[in-house]
Amino acid sequence: MSTAGFNSPKKLYIAGINYKKADTATRGKFSISAANQEDLIKNAVDRGIDGLLLVSTCNRTEIIGFAEHPFKLIELLSNYWQEGTVKEFASVAYVYKAAEAVTHLFRLVSGLDSQILGDYEIVGQLKRAFQLSQSLGAVNTYLDKLFSHLMHASKRVKNETDLSSGTTSVAYAAVQFLLAEFTTLTDKTVLLYGLGEIGKNTYKHLLEYALPEKIVVANRSQEKLKELIAGKPPHVEVCEIANLNKQVSNTDIMIVATGADHPTVTSNDIPAGKELLILDLSMPSNVAPEVKELSHVRVVDVDRLSKITNATLDHRRDEIPRAEAIIAEIEHDFFAWLDNRKFAPAINTLRQSLEEIRRNEINQHLRKRDQFTSEDLDHITAQLMQKVVRQFAKHMKPNSLDANQTLDLIYRIFETEKEAVA
């Protein structure tokens, strides 16, 4: 893997949008589908971009990579998002550079930058982004080391603080919203459409906290469906996608978590006059705009669900200083490693020069005999030492401005006391 850092012509940049300045509809315009994410990274590698990660979730779309200018990354991104324009992206976007970018990532993986404080869903998403980039040859030494430090920070914050105490996520917020709306779901039928990560978490929370009268699950991938419903409770049923419209007629609440790059629920799926509550957990929105215009249908999106707060979040806020202290410690370790990388080229040059001296000396003696005696080895090593010393002495001129600094460095390297000269 190649190395890229702050001293390179290419800098680490992050360009993106998130829930802070862009609402659900706007974020949906700039989301990148799974297939396009892979194609984007391949394109970046072909263009010679040294190190790249891409994260596109319901809360954010971020491109993380090395470039001469952040517009190079934004330009690459613009070839793959849904329907936004560069001008619109710039109006809500943020750009972080070098150390600022690193700090942003540390806050991200610790849950400090999540829409729901302490939500660690982004960690799994970032892991998958890293694995994809790694498989496509888009992870350099810098990103590899940074990612290692990020995961270490994430683990420590999760284990050593209560920042993620209790259960809070978009999926959990959806269930809490339903309980707040209806008090109980024991007389309700819930249709869950989509079994991505958010869909599966929603299913688990429905079983654990809500206990609806009936849960009906629909998903295009039968493999995911079979895996989820293995050993399912009696009140969980499976719906074929072809029968979705019919099932909606018998549903009180529909939860959409399909994660497609286009609407999967249209007005054709809603029977005329059917009163229905739809929770849209997808990004971009998988509920068509015309559905939201139906007077008998209420659609609640991710942004509204994320505003649900409770005592759990209040307790989490108290944990922020402890989380920030852990991040500062590990971030310091990363920058210390980065500082040491500045010396890597010089050390490699020194190693190569010494190796050349060693190899030449051995080859010279091999021309004289096939085997070395102990006397020969003693002579060879003495010659090696003499040549190394000569290399130092050749560049130590008494009248040079940095002579004293050079002498101080040599004494320090070899851990000897500086001798006074009469």
Residue 116 sits in a domain whose CATH number is: 3.30.460.30
Specify the pTM.
0.64
58-64: average pLDDT: 92
Are residues 306 and 323 both part of a single domain?
Answer: no
137-160: average pLDDT: 95
159 lies in some domain: yes
Write the CATH number for 261. 3.40.50.720
Are residues 331 and 294 both part of a single domain?
Answer: no
Pairing of strands 253-256, 276-280: parallel
347 lies in some domain: no
Closest CA to 380 of 355, 362, 368: 362
69 lies in some domain: yes
What pLDDT sits at residue 290?
94
Residue predicted with more confidence, 110 or 83: 110
Are residues 20 and 138 both part of a single domain?
Answer: yes
> What confidence tens digit (pLDDT) does each residue in 238-282 have?
888 888 888 999 999 999 999 888 899 999 999 989 999 999 998
Does the structure show a pLDDT above 70 at 4?
no
Are residues 84 and 157 both part of a single domain?
Answer: yes
Does the structure show a pLDDT above 90 at 137?
yes
Pairing of strands 60-67, 253-256: unpaired
Going edge to edge, which strands form the sheet with 94-97? Answer: 52-56, 60-67, 11-18, 94-97
Task: Give whichever of 79-83, 87-91, 228-232, 366-370 has the largest mean pLDDT.
Answer: 87-91
Q: CB–CB of 19/303 below 8 Å?
A: yes
Does the structure show a pLDDT above 50 at 3?
no
- Catalytic, 58? Answer yes
Does the structure show a pLDDT above 70 at 402?
no
Are residues 248 and 202 both part of a single domain?
Answer: yes
Distance, CA of 299 to CA of 286 (rounded, Å): 11
pLDDT range class, residue 333, cuts 50, 70, 90: very high
243 lies in some domain: yes
What pLDDT sits at residue 403?
64
Q: CB–CB of 225/195 below 8 Å?
A: yes
Distance, CA of 337 to CA of 149 (rounded, Å): 11
Does the structure show a pLDDT above 50 at 178?
yes
Are residues 158 and 17 both part of a single domain?
Answer: yes
Residue predicted with more confidence, 152 or 407: 152
Are residues 306 and 414 both part of a single domain?
Answer: no
Are residues 187 and 323 both part of a single domain?
Answer: no
Record the tokens describing residue 265, joined without a space: 């629920």
pLDDT range class, residue 211, cuts 50, 70, 90: confident
What pLDDT sits at residue 419?
59
Q: How far is CA 276 from the centre of its chain?
A: 36
Are residues 303 and 422 both part of a single domain?
Answer: no
3 lies in some domain: no
Residue predicted with more confidence, 178 or 347: 178
What pLDDT sits at residue 2?
38
What pLDDT sits at residue 418?
61
Number of domains in the chain: 3
Say how many Å lie between the first and final Cα of the chain, rounded.
Answer: 52
Are residues 124 and 15 both part of a single domain?
Answer: yes
190-199: average pLDDT: 89
Summarize the chain as % helix, strand, coil (round to 5).
50, 15, 35
72-88: average pLDDT: 91
- Structural domain of 95: 11-164+319-341
Angle in degrees, CA 399, 403, 408, rounded to 5? 155
What pLDDT sits at residue 7?
52
| Catalytic pick among 15, 32, 49, 58 | 58
Record the tokens describing residue 141, joined without a space: 């030494």
Q: CB–CB of 334/54 below 8 Å?
A: no
134-154: average pLDDT: 96
Are residues 16 and 156 both part of a single domain?
Answer: yes
Distance, CA of 170 to CA of 176 (rounded, Å): 10
4 lies in some domain: no
Residue predicted with more confidence, 155 or 345: 155
> What confidence tens digit (pLDDT) does each residue in 277-308 have?
999 998 888 999 999 999 999 999 888 887 76
Distance, CA of 84 to CA of 388 (rounded, Å): 62
354 lies in some domain: no
10-28: average pLDDT: 91
Record the tokens describing residue 173, joined without a space: 């917020």
Distance, CA of 36 to CA of 261 (rounded, Å): 10
44-56: average pLDDT: 92
Task: Give whichever of 175-189, 224-238, 377-391 has the largest mean pLDDT.
Answer: 175-189
What is the per-residue DSSP string for 293-322?
A: T-TTEEEE-HHHHTT---HHHHHHHHTHHH
Poorest-pLDDT segment among 15-19, 121-125, 145-149: 121-125
> Which amino acid is present at 105?
L
Going edge to edge, which strands form the sheet with 297-300? Answer: 236-238, 214-218, 189-193, 253-256, 276-280, 297-300
Record the tokens describing residue 274, joined without a space: 């059917």
Average of per-residue pLDDT values in the chain: 85
Does the structure show a pLDDT above 60 at 415?
yes
Residue predicted with more confidence, 302 or 396: 302
Q: Widest CA span of the chain, in angstroms?
A: 104
103 lies in some domain: yes
111-140: average pLDDT: 91
Are residues 97 and 16 both part of a single domain?
Answer: yes
Poorest-pLDDT segment among 9-18, 279-288, 317-326, 341-350: 341-350
Does the structure show a pLDDT above 60 at 401?
no
